[in-house]
Amino acid sequence: MRGDETEARLGWEVALPLDGTSLGGVRMAGFRDRAAVGLDLHVLPQPAVIVVLGFGEEPLSVEGGTGRRPLRSLVAGLSPGAARIRGEGVECVEMRLSPRAAYALLGVGPRELDGSVTDLEELWGRDERRLRERLADAPTWQERLTLVDGFLAERAARAPVMAPEVAAAWNTIVARRGRVRVADLAASCGWSRKRLWARFSDQIGLTPKRAAMLVRFDHAARALSAGAHPADVALACGYVDQPHLHRDVLAFAGCTPTALAGRPTTAG
């Protein structure tokens, strides 16, 4: 979909930027619950940081380890913990940020986002409120998406830069779908394993080993959601066997592979 085109997807109006986004590692889309079907999503760990800017009349309801909270906008890190997002009459812009983009744009260390879904206003303060107000006033999706893109570009101009060795290690993990040894990653960037572990954890928010497990899990979750049999998924995604897949899915999603396949989630 391009331009001002929108499409109905199970009652949702979806809009994409006309010419993509101006920043690498940022994917963006606008969503409106046109058919009043309601939102009910389990948040899964995935190799992207999810940012939702809501500008509808009602806040989202986020359920997690700290109870239930109404949030206008939110951030879900790479490993957000068990969380469920519900809402009625939802209107929002969703961004999917690579770890490199998130490191630059969010203004906090990745470790601060681990284990929960965070209120975006706590990170961006008055800037978040002003942006939401401008989104609500904008008459078209393209104007809203352009507003967000410009806002991110301004933040990127004064943002910290991720170490190229860390960025390269992450890119290798993604390209190999998590099938990589930490020792090989360290050797490829000329660092000791200990130094890679420390710098990677500081700038990504996960250890290299955990990041590789997350990327592999993400591919498995998508395959399971598409209807693939767990045994086939285990083989295709590089797990030792089906019980190995079962343990990882339980650790990341808190349920069995079969249950995950039937869930409405943010993966996919």
In whole angstroms, give the CA distance from residue 110 to residue 57: 30
Residue that terminates a domain, selected from 142, 157, 172: 157
- Helices vs. strands in the chain: H and E counts, helices first: 11, 11
Question: DSSP secondary-structure letter at 68?
Answer: E
State phi, psi for 72 to the nearest 5 degrees: -75, -40
CB atoms within 10 A of CB 212: 25
CB of 104 closer than 8 Å to CB of 152:
no
pLDDT digits (tens, 9 = 90+) for 154-182: 999 998 899 999 999 999 999 999 999 99
Split into its structural domains, the chain has a count of 2
CATH code, domain with 184:
1.10.10.60
pLDDT, tens only, 18-37: 889 999 999 999 999 988 88
* Domain shared by 242 and 181, yes or no: yes
What is the reported pTM?
Answer: 0.89
Give CA–CA dist 100/47, Å, rounded: 11
Decide: 28 and 93 in contact? Cβ < 8 Å: yes
> pLDDT digits over 91-133, tens only?
999 999 999 999 999 988 777 887 779 999 999 999 999 999 9
Residue in 226, 40, 49, 264 with CA at minimum distance from that of residue 255 = 264
Query: Among residues 127, 157, 187, which one ends one of the domains?
Result: 157
- Phi/psi for 116 (5° steps) reads -160, 170
Give 131-155 pLDDT, tens digit per residue. 999 999 999 999 999 999 999 999 9
Tell me what percent of the residues of the chain surpass a pLDDT of 90. 75
**CB-based contact 13:34 (threshold 8 Å):** yes
51 plus 142 within the same structural domain: yes
Tell me: do 153 and 225 sit in the same domain.
no
pLDDT at 7 exceeding the cut of 70: no
Examine the fold and report which residue of 134, 157, 180 is the final residue of a domain before the chain moves on: 157
The stretch 49-76 carries a mean pLDDT of: 91
Give residue 95's domain range. 7-157
Whether 87 and 61 share a structural domain: yes
Do residues 32 and 112 both lie within one domain? yes
